[in-house]
Structures are given as structure tokens and as C-alpha cells.
Chains A and B, each alone.
Chain A
Amino acid sequence: MTGTTMFTRAFFKFFPPPVYLETRHGGLHISDDAVRIIQFVQGLKGLEVRKHGMRALPRGVVDAGFIKDEKALGTILKELVTELGITSVTASLPEEKMYLFKLDVPSLNEKEIRQTIEFKLEENVPLSPADAVFYFDIVPSPVAGSGKHTVMVSVAPRKVIDTYLSVLTGAGLTVTSFEVEARALARAFVPKSAPDCELIVNVMNHKTGLYIVSGGVVSFTSTVLWGGALVTEAIAKEFGKTPEEAELLKRNAGYHDAQDTKKVLTAVAGTVGVLQKEIEKVYSYWVENGEEGKPIDRVVLCGSDSLLVGLASHVTPNPEIPTIVADTWMNAFSKDAYIPPISHDESLDYAVAIGLALS
């Protein structure tokens, strides 16, 4: 943290701007299964959760990041934000609709970087500058010996942005920013002090996001159609249970006696193997094509299905690399000073929303 930033933070701690000007925003995560929103407030000892809420989305309202039923999503969102009294949000965009590429730029002047990106855009993504909206992160270390700097460019189709904006503003929300899920996750739980190179595995119900964050910058994203629902389905099939019973069995695996836990693990081993292979592919790609001298230091799992007993040890691409479950509150507050109203299990599903709210 620079001296100026520290001074600014200290100044605004003692002389906070009026609430009317603060544009206090919440983090809104729209996934295929649910919408989650969370808002922080500056407390005496740091940030505190002010408001949070979740609404499950019926199947088909949002599919693979596409908003299929704008009206239904708008109604659900309006109901949720009206109940919580939130008017301004930073919202997530689905990884499936985003493009990410790396570009070397000669200058750190923002205007010149934007011009360079616009010039090179069509070489990297199948979109013209007129049809795209983009932002960039500057990779901290310059390109060795060239005097150039590297930027990671995230590009979204303008059509997707317009659709999301239309739904959110229709629900009475002001959007302060859109961000990709990977960036929000990095903000939530990648340590600010010494950011390493991490492989984030975001397990959702019907898909899993695999992101590599290097030096605090999202350097790789990939989405695989593997999710917690497949695990539930495997358990239901193996034990002849309804989906609800299977879900309960999945959540409680590890809390049963050893025999039952072993049965559950055996039942899901096949489907978890699919995820493990995908993670290995990403790991191998990074080893061969990733940033020089920046090996993956650890694998971080998030999403409530990441708590499935034995998953961490099962999916690790390299036994020497630690695989842990994310501490989603890491960059928000110290749990020694404040106990959040959301349980740890539940907070894993709020990880994206938390990262967005911290922006």
C-alpha cells in the first residue's frame, strides 16, 4: 500500500464523506443458480457486513451466463434489492462471455494503453472495438529488458453488457462497475501483502471456474461444465435417494460414521475425477506457457461444494502444492475483531459478491 493510499484511508476514516456522496455499493453476483448480494459498512474496527441476501434462480433464467429471461431476473432482483434497501451495486459478469488476453504496451499512460488495446483488439478477440467493452490490469513487473509493460485485458461483448445493464437498471439499481468473477475472487481472498500465484477453483452448482491469479492480476480463466449438482446426482444414483436427500448426504459427508463417508467418497470419485483432470490441464498449461519464474504456489477452493470431504486432496494437481479452502473474509476484516452474520460454509458461495463489494 502506498503512502498516499494509507494517508487517504486514514483521512477518510476520521473525516468520512457524507453518506449521500459515498455511493455505498453492494456486490452483486449473478450466477446460473442464484443471485447473491452483500454490502459492507465501515465499523469501528474495520469493515462489517451491513446487508446481505440471496435468491435462488429457477433453471433457465440465466444459462451459462446468458440472461434468458430478463423479466424474471429483473423481478427477482428488484424484490431482493427492495427488501435490502440497496440501490447501487458492482456486479459480476460471467466468465463464459468474457475474453482475456495479455498485451505488452510501451507506456503506462492510461490513454495510450487504451489506444494500443483498441488497435490490437481484433487480433486477440472476435470482436470489433465498437462491439466490445474492455478494461485492463497492469502486471506489476515490467517485461524484462524491453522497457515495456504487460497488461491483462478483459473484454466483454457490448451486447452482454447492455443486457445486464438493462436488467439491473430496470430493477432500480445503479451499476458502479462490472467485473469478472475471477477478479472479484482475487480481491476477496488473495493476500494483499504478498500476492503469490494461485489457482482458484470456484465450484458452483453446474459449472466450475478455474482462474490463475498472478501478482494479484487475473492471468488465466477457464470454465468447465462440472458442478456440485453432478456430485449430488452421483450420490442420489448410488444410494437411491431423492436430490434433496442426496444434497443433505453430500453436505454431511464426513460427519457420518467412517463407513458412510467412505461410501459417499466412492460414489463421487468418478465425477470428481473429471474436475481433477481439468485442473491438471490448467496446471500443465501454466507450467508450459505461464509467466516465467511464477509457478503456482497453491490451489484455493471456493464455493460451498468445495467443502465436500476429501475434495481438496483429490483435485490437487501436484501433491507438493497446498490445496486449501478459501478464507473469504480475509481482505474484509479480521475474524478476531468481528463475527460475520454468514457462516463459513455459506460465505464460500458469497465469495464473488464479497470481492465485488470490496471494490
Chain B
Amino acid sequence: MHSLLPERYIASLRLNYRMRLGATALFFLSVAVAIGVVALLPSYILSRGQETKAAEDLALLQKTSHSQDANQAEASIKTTKALITAFEGHQDTVPLSLIIETVVLQRKPGISITSVQVKRSGMTDAALNVAGVATSRDALLTFQKSLAKDPHFSKVDLPISDLAKTKDIRFNITAVAKW
């Protein structure tokens, strides 16, 4: 192409052309970037809108969640408080185990206790119902007497009907306990 031109001049022509090529490439690159930016603008605006909406939704959700947590916590506290109150009410009463243990200590040979019902009527008072099986009438009477002798029990009643049988007698003794 560049015939009969000095090498130095050809070099300057080439440099000039490459600079123009570079400028053209930059121009087209800029145009491509500009087109890309314009093309992405609607998506960007849409994304921003969605982001804002998502943030708002998240904030609302967190707020609701906090409120629910607070309600749950409040309910839990109330339950706990009620339980505490309930337990506090029996704090000074005689432990049930002590009552049962006292009954069991009075048991004699030939007596099998099948149940002990305790019905509290005050801090220290309770109505007892001791059920079981006695091998003989004598064993049953001995058990009733020993219960009656215990200072914590009063009004130890054995129904007469329970003494109708001579052996393997099902009994039901009632008493009033006081500590």
C-alpha cells in the first residue's frame, strides 16, 4: 500500500492509523457501554423498587415477629406466675409424702395398702381414705387401732361392714389428719 514512501513517514502513517483505530474502538466501546447502561436502567429501577419493597416487608415482618414473641413471652410469664402462685399456696402445707409415710409406718403384718387418698382441708388438715386388703379381721383391727393411736390422726373410722368377712377383707378406713 505505502509504496515509495520513506520508512519514517510510513511509521508515522501507521501510528496515526492505529491511533484512529484506537479512538474508533473507544468510541464504539463507549457507545456499547452507554447502550448497555440505558438498556439496564429499567431493570435497575425495577430492582431498586423491589429491594425497597423487600426491605419494607422485612421490617414489617420483624416488627410482627417481635410482637408475637412479646405476646408469647407474656403468656409464658403469666403461666409461670400462675404456677408459682399455685405452688406458693401449698408451700406451708404438710407434704403428702409425710402423710403417706405416717400411714405406711402404722401398717401391720397381714395388711396390704392399695391406695391412700388425701383431701386437704387447710394448711395442716386433711381427710384420709386408706384402702387395702387385710388377711384377717384381727390384723385389720390392729391396723385401725394403731392409726387411731397416732397423734396425727383422729376420727379413724372402719365401717362395720368391713368386718363381716373373717379373712381377705377389703377395707376402707377414713381418718382426719392434723399436723
Contact = CB atoms under 8 A, between A and B. Distances in A.
Interface string A151-189: 000101010011001000000001111110000000000
Interface stretch (A16-24, A251-259, A270-278): A16-24
Contacts of B6: 133, 158, 161-162, 165
Contacts of A134: 4
B4 A135 contact: yes
A178 B3 contact: yes
B107 to A, nearest CB: 114
A163 B17 CA distance: 23
Contacts of B2: 176-177
A162 B8 CA distance: 11
Given A20-B24, A21-B24, A165-B9, A179 B17 contact: no
A21 B20 contact: yes
Nearest to A17: B24
For the side of the interface on B, what is the size category? 10 to 19
Interface string A11-34: 000000010110100000000000
Contacts of B9: 165, 175
A135 B3 CA distance: 6
A37 interface: no
Given A133-B6, A165-B9, A177 B24 contact: no
Interface in B19-36: 20-21, 23-24
A237 to B, nearest CB: 41
Nearest to A93: B4
Interface string A169-213: 000001111110000000000000000000000000000000000
Nearest to A155: B4
A18 B23 CA distance: 12
B4 A21 contact: no
A356 to B, nearest CB: 11
Contact of A177 (B4, B16, B17, B21): B4
Contact of B5 (A20, A21, A177): A177
B24 A133 contact: no
Contacts of A156: 4
A45 to B, nearest CB: 26
Decide if the interface of chain B is mainly helix, strand, loop or mixed.
helix
Interface string A123-166: 00000000001110000000000000000001010100110010
A54 B87 CA distance: 122
A20 B20 contact: yes
B8 to A, nearest CB: 10
Given A161-B6, A162-B6, A165-B6, A176 B21 contact: no
Contacts of A177: 1-5
Contacts, number: 44
Nearest to A18: B24
A23 B17 contact: yes
Contacts of B1: 176-177, 359
B58 interface: no
A176 B5 CA distance: 8
Nearest to A136: B3
Nearest to A165: B9
B11 to A, nearest CB: 14
A178 B21 contact: no
Contacts of B3: 135, 177-179
Contacts of A175: 5, 9
Interface string B110-137: 0000000000000000000000000000
A162 B4 CA distance: 11
A20 B28 CA distance: 12
B13 to A, nearest CB: 7
A154 B5 CA distance: 12
A179 B20 contact: no
B120 to A, nearest CB: 104
A279 B24 CA distance: 52
Nearest to A175: B5
A184 to B, nearest CB: 11
Interface in A57-114: 93
Nearest to A23: B17
B5 A178 contact: yes
Given A20-B20, A21-B21, A21-B24, A174 B4 contact: no
B4 A154 contact: yes
3 smallest beta-carbon distances between A and B, as pairs: A178-B4, A135-B3, A177-B3
13 contacts: A21-B24, A93-B4, A134-B4, A135-B3, A135-B4, A156-B4, A158-B6, A165-B5, A165-B9, A174-B13, A177-B2, A177-B4, A178-B5
Given A165-B6, A177-B3, 20 more contacts: A18-B24, A20-B20, A21-B20, A21-B21, A21-B24, A23-B17, A93-B4, A133-B4, A134-B4, A161-B4, A162-B6, A165-B5, A165-B9, A174-B13, A175-B9, A176-B1, A176-B2, A176-B13, A177-B5, A178-B4
